[in-house]
Amino acid sequence: MDASASRFVYLHESRRPRGYEPIYRSFEPSLYVPEIGAHGFLGPVHEGIPEAVASIKGKLMEGDQYKLYEAAFFARGAILEVGRLHGKSTAVLAMGLRDGTANRSGGPLYSVELNDKYEPIAAGNLRERGLLELVTLLRGDSATVIAQLPGRFDTVFIDGDHSYEGFTRDLRALEGRIEPGGVVMFHDCFHPQNESGEYGVARALAEREDSMGLAYRGRFGGMALYEQLGAPVPLRPR
Ligand SMILES: C[S@@+](CC[C@H](N)C(=O)[O-])C[C@H]1O[C@@H](n2cnc3c(N)ncnc32)[C@H](O)[C@@H]1O
């Protein structure tokens, strides 16, 4: 991919605000850079994200939340979330999508969850915040659901099955399905349970990131953030 077309433009160290590290900007610098220069956040909603979702049960760190919002804000196509639970990350992604959509072409936002019992809770949390209509709530095993969805994803957040086998199945389902230049965030990549083998996120990623054309761009909260490299290839018919 042409480096000048990348959305990953590293910003000067001194511009980093507290607790939040923006690492990329959009294609519309006139829209975005002045705000980054001023305070680092995209606006008051971005800065207030932790408070806006504080009452939703979940283990997302502030660094996760800021980056998820930013990624959805700058999405240029479909967003995929795997692992919704009570909808904390879903709400953050939906807010970013809502606030960025006027200037970009982000969406739809697909959210996949295996366990049916969480759906009413997540839907309630999204409805309460006026976000429910922005999200396509999907039930089922992520690898199976991903295979049934159309096209490619521009922005991906994976926080579902953390076992080596389950996470590898998600990675395989995503192969060739992420837009070049797309953003992929993997939760719990730095969790100590990767050491004990209880989580297989770090191991599976280390094995597949090169062959998938994923380039590591940094740690945000508990997430490893990657950029999808490469030129678009035709999608396999499904
Ligand atoms: C750590 S939680 C997700 C937390 C959520 N992202 C948040 O912000 O609070 C992991 C979720 O993934 C779901 N999950 C596990 N295996 C899955 C699979 N194969 N497909 C879809 N969801 C799965 C679990 O039911 C659980 O709700």
Output the CA–CA distances (angstroms, integers) from residue 193 to 76, 89, 140, 190, 196, in the order listed. Answer: 34, 21, 25, 8, 5
Looking from the CA of residue 81, the nearest atom of ligand 1 is 6
Say if ligand 1 is within 6 A of residue 114 CB: yes
pLDDT tens digits, 163-180: 999 999 999 999 999 999
Looking from the CA of residue 169, the nearest atom of ligand 1 is 19
pTM: 0.89
Residue 38 CA to ligand 1 center (angstroms) comes to: 36
Integer Cα distance of 215 and 70 in angstroms: 19
Tokens 């976000």 correspond to: 131
Q: Which pLDDT value is given to residue 8?
A: 58
Q: Report the topology of domain 3-228.
A: Rossmann fold (3.40.50)
Say if ligand 1 is within 6 A of residue 118 CB: yes
Q: Which pLDDT value is given to residue 102?
A: 67
Task: Could you list the beta-strand ranges (E) of 109-165.
Answer: 109-113, 135-139, 153-158
pLDDT tens digits, 181-234: 899 999 999 999 999 999 999 999 999 999 999 988 878 888 898 889 987 666
Q: Which pLDDT value is given to residue 233?
A: 62
pLDDT tens digits, 197-208: 999 999 999 999
Residue 82 CA to ligand 1 center (angstroms) comes to: 6
Question: Could you tell me which residue, 135 or 16, shows the higher pLDDT?
Answer: 135
